[in-house]
């Protein structure tokens, strides 16, 4: 299962507080698209189906559809907030390469 850092979980919790809901999970998926063929999708979602795998990490429910699990099994999600960048990052050792813009992989 994908790993969520404590820092990323803290940011997700902040977003859940802003939404005013505690029944939402962080959905992470791999979808076709981008320069290299695949891209990541990450959003708050309140839908959980039998086709999903979920796990609670640092108080956040992480949800992944079964088709995306093989692509994300060793990935790690972090949240960075520096002068140069602010946002969630995904470090995925399973990705063989990425495009120059960094928004897709193969």
**For range 83-93, the mean pLDDT:** 88
Beta strands in 15-69 (DSSP E): 25-32, 38-45, 52-57, 60-65
For residues 21 and 28, the model is more confident at: 28
β-pairing, 104-105 vs 38-45, is antiparallel
**pTM for this one?**
0.84
Q: How many domains does the chain contain in total?
A: 1
Q: What percent of the chain has pLDDT over 70?
A: 87
Domain extent for 84: 3-97
Q: Tokens for 21?
A: 């809901």
Q: Give the model's pLDDT for residue 50.
A: 92
Q: Write the pLDDT tens digit of every residue in 39-63.
A: 889 999 999 999 999 999 999 999 9
Q: What percent of the chain has pLDDT over 90?
A: 59
Is residue 104 situated within a structural domain? no
Is residue 41 situated within a structural domain? yes
Q: Give the model's pLDDT for residue 21.
A: 86
Number of H helices, E strands in the chain: 2, 8
Q: Give the model's pLDDT for residue 16.
A: 93
Q: Give the model's pLDDT for residue 103.
A: 55
Which residues neighbour 39 within 8 Å (Cβ) at sequence distance 6 or greater?
30, 31, 32, 33, 103, 104, 105
List the CATH number of the domain containing 9. Answer: 2.60.300.12
In 37-71, which positions are buried (b, 16+ CB within 10 angstroms) versus exposed (e)?
ebbbebeeeeeeeeebeeeebeebbbbbbeebbeb
């Amino acid at each position: 299962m994908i790993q969520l850092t404590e820092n990323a979980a803290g940011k997700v919790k902040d977003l859940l507080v802003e939404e005013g809901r505690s029944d939402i999970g962080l959905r992470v998926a791999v979808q076709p698209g981008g320069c290299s063929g695949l891209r990541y999708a990450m959003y708050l979602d309140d839908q959980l189906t039998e086709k999903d795998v979920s796990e609670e990490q640092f108080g956040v429910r992480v949800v992944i559809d079964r088709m995306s699990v093989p692509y994300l099994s060793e990935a790690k999600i972090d949240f960075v907030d520096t002068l140069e960048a602010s946002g969630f990052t995904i470090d995925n050792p399973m990705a063989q390469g990425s495009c120059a813009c960094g928004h897709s992989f193969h």
